[in-house]
Amino acid sequence: MKVTFKITAQLLASVRADLKRSHPFAYERVGFIVAGLASCPGGVLILAREYRPINDDDYLRDPTVGAMMGPDAIRKAQEWALFQGHAIFHVHTHGGFGMPGFSGIDLRENAKFVPDFLKVAPQNIHGAIVLSHDAAAGQFWQSTESRSETIDEFLEVGVPLRKWGSHGSF
Amino acid sequence: MDRFDRQSFLGSNSSEILDRLTVGIIGLGGGGSHEVQQLAHLGVGRYVIVDPDTIDLTNTNRLIGGTLGDAELEVPKVEIAERMIRGLLPGARITSIKGHWEGALEDLKRCDVIMGAVDSFVARERLECFCRRYLIPYIDIGMDVLELGETGKFLVSGQVILSTPGRPCLRCCGFLDDDKLKEEAKRYGDAGGRPQVVWSNGVLASVAVGLLVDLVCSWHSKSPDFVHLIYDGNRGTVVPSPGMEHLQKKPCPHFPANETGDPGFDVRTLIGEPVNIGEQGDEASSSPATSQRSWWKRMLDYFH
């Protein structure tokens, strides 16, 4: 199943701008992109709808990581999945240029909380995105029983139209 | 020597970009046939082409690639378009659909850009709705010939609009409104053959193809992501609409961001998991969604 993540250039720029803001005590910011989903031949389209930043109060103090969400942040995102029918994608940035990659801590933490979204909204896939200044990478879960899979392709919809991922880029 | 050498100024990797691009073209008459021809010359590698009609004699004044022989044989317009593309790009990946575009939604969802060359306001509105739902830039072209009173003189006019998700739409720029849709609905069935000519279709299609190239190839300074150009066939001009500049900074109120995606999407129907539509804990193997599982998975279940 080929999975493509589509987001407008405006929305992506607003996500990057928000994640740049400093936090009172966390080293970095995190947030969620809520999305709609669609089938297409041989795959699924993830169609970004909105960006929802984590409230300052919903971060936990944890000096071992760049940012740690508290249970309220995850509960709110679960409510968006359950009551508003959104697919939920956690997002943060590593900065820099070129294809970013999740750190070991990212992968461990994502695997802890992302599958919980499937418990409340199993009709959707959910996942996590990591950004750089000019690209993104992501993973998703399609059931609580399955392991995470890689998002194959990203499409930034604007001028220019930009595409990157495992099938090449433009 | 590369056959695209003369357009290398579009960017060092422009040939690869265009080859990987999937363009949907809805309507393969006077406007769409021009677009297909130009995209094939440019080297666009992937197409979803849609038109329900066959060519007839009255189309041969403007349908690019169509011959009198095609008209005699009533060849489908999609076949003429495919022949045109294959003549320039034998390896192009083409999905041809002889039918209405509403019957090709799954194929159209995977398009990077959709170009519409359709006749009616209602078709334009529906196409734009579709493109917004699936975050696909939409480029619309259309022309009209209006009689100037009873003078026996005519005005040839038209438009090219680039509608990018999140940016101003056909309603924002005033091209579509409820009055036009109602008026068109009243005239439904008695439209007859509307006047069309090859050169104005060519102008509009060329401008539209230029916008598409601007979208994917960075060959000049940043292009706007909302474009509304007005064609005056009598003066031979294409100029920005009076409101285009003003609208550049405006958000679109007509297509809320939370409407993207398939209503009722359920990944479990794609991966063959049982779907519990009823109460929690009820493994509804006979639920309606189960019947949507792929035929081979259902067959495997049967043999187990």
Q: Does A37 touch chain B (CB under 8 A)?
A: yes
Distance separating alpha carbons of residues B15 and B7, to the nearest angstrom: 9
Asked if A50 and A62 touch (Cβ cutoff 8 Å), the reply is no
pTM of the model: 0.91
Tally of helices (H runs) and strands (E runs) in chain A: 3, 11
Task: Judge if B286 and B228 occupy the same domain.
Answer: no
Domain A2-159: top CATH class: alpha beta
Task: Judge if B24 and B74 occupy the same domain.
Answer: yes
Average pLDDT value over all residues in chain A? 95
Handedness of CA A33, A34, A36, A42 (dihedral sign): positive
Domain with residue B20: its CATH number is 3.40.50.720
Q: Does A9 touch chain B (CB under 8 A)?
A: yes
What does the domain layout of chain A look like in residue ranges? 2-159
Which residue of A40, A44, A50 is in closest CB contact with B267?
Answer: A44
Residue B280 belongs to what domain range?
A: 267-303
Task: Judge if B98 and B14 occupy the same domain.
Answer: yes
Which long-range contacts does A22-26 make (Cβ < 8 Å, 24+ apart)?
A23/A56, A23/A59, A23/A67, A24/A56, A25/A59, A25/A61, A26/A59, A26/A66, A26/A67, A26/A68
User: Residue B277 has what pLDDT?
Assistant: 54
Task: Judge if B95 and B25 occupy the same domain.
Answer: yes
Average pLDDT of span B255-282? 78
User: Residue B89 has what pLDDT?
Assistant: 98
Q: Give the A window 74-103 contacts with B, CB below 8 Å.
A: 84, 86
Q: State phi, psi for A19 to the nearest 5 degrees.
A: -70, -15
Average pLDDT of span B135-147? 95
Give rounded-to-5 percent helix, strand, coil for chain A: 25, 35, 35
Asked if A34 and A80 touch (Cβ cutoff 8 Å), the reply is yes
- Which residues of B lie inside 8 Å of A (Cβ-Cβ)? 13, 16-17, 20-21, 106-107, 109-110, 112-113, 133-137, 164-167, 214-218, 222-225, 257-262, 265-268, 270-271, 273, 275
Side-chain half-sphere CA neighbours of A123 within 13 A:
21
User: Residue B187 has what pLDDT?
Assistant: 79
pLDDT at residue B98 tops 60? yes
Tens-place pLDDT, residues A96-145? 999 999 999 999 999 999 999 999 999 999 999 999 999 999 999 999 88
- The DSSP output letter for B85 is H
User: Residue B192 has what pLDDT?
Assistant: 59
Say yes or no for a CB contact (<8 Å) between B109 and A38.
yes
Q: Residue B63: which pLDDT band, with cuts at 50, 70 and 90? A: very high
Burial string for B162-182 (b: 16+ CB within 10 Å, else e) reads bbbbbbbbbbbbebbeeebee
Q: Residue B278: which pLDDT band, with cuts at 50, 70 and 90? A: very low
